[in-house]
Structure 1
Amino acid sequence: MHSASNTRHAWSTAAWLQRRSPTARTVAVLAGTLVLALASQIAVPMVPVPVTMQTLAVTLVGALYGWRLGAVTVLLWLAQAAAGLPVLAGGAGGLPHFMGPTAGYLLAFPLAAALTGWLAGRGWAGRRVVLAFLSMLAGNALCLALGAAWLAQSIGPSKAIAFGVLPFVVGAILKSALGAAILRLVAAPADDQR
């Protein structure tokens, strides 16, 4: 039987990244921003907030990169968006998105990456599929809570829950399950090498 520490570190890409050169970590961060931008383009238009694969990418970046590098990656992606690059849902970019109805969700993303990265660093990933699912779900829940809190300022709490949370609950559960499955697949090669 393996200890939690061995289970956690055997598969951890975050630990692997920390041992790499600053150049390798920079490349990883840039690759992460590309993944986030591509995931943003997988969207189902809804009003006032679209359904995208952003939260899956955000939580995976956090879990795979660790809480610090994951949050930095998401912050750089958001900086690209703020600078006007077309990296958000529907190829959008620019500062208005950080003041409109989706702003709370966008601002929650680095926190969600940090949360899932922090939990993954404590063994909530890899072979522990249920814990990985819960860590992904926690990241999604944080996004929904902060996004709805922002949205409530303009449309009120009831409508924020009706339009900014409830339509996304099933998607959050499905994306969390997919994220946990991906983390298990990433862990499998490390398991085979032990």
Structure 2
Amino acid sequence: MNTTTASAHDAFSPLRLQSRPLVWQVAAIVLGTLFLALSSYVEVPMVPVPMTMQTFAVTLVGALYGWRLGGLTIVAWLLEGALGLPVLAGGASGAAHFLGATGGYLFAFPVCGALVGWLAERGWNGNRVVLAFLAMLAGNLLCLVLGGAWLAVIIGFDSAVTHGVAPFIVGGVLKSALGAAVLKALSPRTSKAPAA
């Protein structure tokens, strides 16, 4: 018996995209990029990086799509932004955003989504809501670490922590809780026998 493989109950993929035909997967990528774009318009202006619902969407796409398809969907969304579609924070677009203060966060998104997807595939999902929260939190924190490191190169370590990491910690925790709640709501209902 292989103990490294998650059981059917633990392996959480309510969409079951990996087993669907290619056309379904392509449609999921398109819908995922739309969801990511919409999340970019929910914005609280902050300097030098605005607070959006992007990390919520990135971690949720990773958890629902799995690490491979989730990461690919996030990369597709970023390519749309780089090519000029208004899908980044506040409807921004263009390759310049990948070189400025937001670049580290943008490049971190596929890694964060893939991490959450990988954890979800291993049981850190809606079937275990505390682990789902921790998976979402890990994705959010990884984004802050990678984005903050990039920002530190541009504006210095202290300023990056003060303006690009610290203000987003509470939001990351709240978005992680919301993401875990969504995963719990989407998790398959299983009836358990009462304990004796």
Give CA deviations for 1:125-178 in whole Å, capped at 9, x if unaligned.
012010000000000001000000000011100110010100000000000000
Matched residue of 1:136: which SS? helix
For 1:56 and 1:140, the matched residues in 2 are separated by 8
What is aligned with 1:131? 131
What is aligned with 1:6? 8
What is aligned with 2:3? none
For 1:146 and 1:19, the matched residues in 2 are separated by 32
Normalising by structure 1, we get a TM-score of: 0.93
Matched residue of 1:163: which SS? helix
What is aligned with 1:92? 92
1:12 aligned partner, one-letter code: S
For 1:12 and 1:83, the matched residues in 2 are separated by 31
Structure-to-structure mapping, 1:14-163, within 5 angstroms:
16-163=16-163
For 1:172 and 1:5, the matched residues in 2 are separated by 29
For 1:107 and 1:145, the matched residues in 2 are separated by 12
What is aligned with 1:171? 171
Of Structure 1 and Structure 2, the greater helix share is in 1
Give the drift of 1:13. Answer: 2.9
Give the drift of 1:6. Answer: 3.1
Matched residue of 2:7: which SS? helix
8 Å Cα contact 1:104/1:151 also seen in 2 = yes
1:191 aligned partner, one-letter code: R
Structure 1 runs (4+) deviating above 2 angstroms are: none
For 1:139 and 1:149, the matched residues in 2 are separated by 15
Give the drift of 1:193. Answer: 8.5
8 Å Cα contact 1:8/1:126 also seen in 2 = no
For 1:166 and 1:55, the matched residues in 2 are separated by 15
Give the drift of 1:74. Answer: 0.1
Matched residue of 1:32: which SS? helix
For 1:148 and 1:191, the matched residues in 2 are separated by 39
Give CA deviations for 1:92-136 in whole Å, capped at 9, x if unaligned.
000100001000000000000000000000000012010000000
The percent of aligned pairs where both chains have the same amino acid is 60
What is the RMSD computed on CA atoms of the aligned residues? 1.5
Gaps (5+ residues) in structure 1?
Answer: none
Normalising by structure 2, we get a TM-score of: 0.92
Number of residue pairs matched?
188
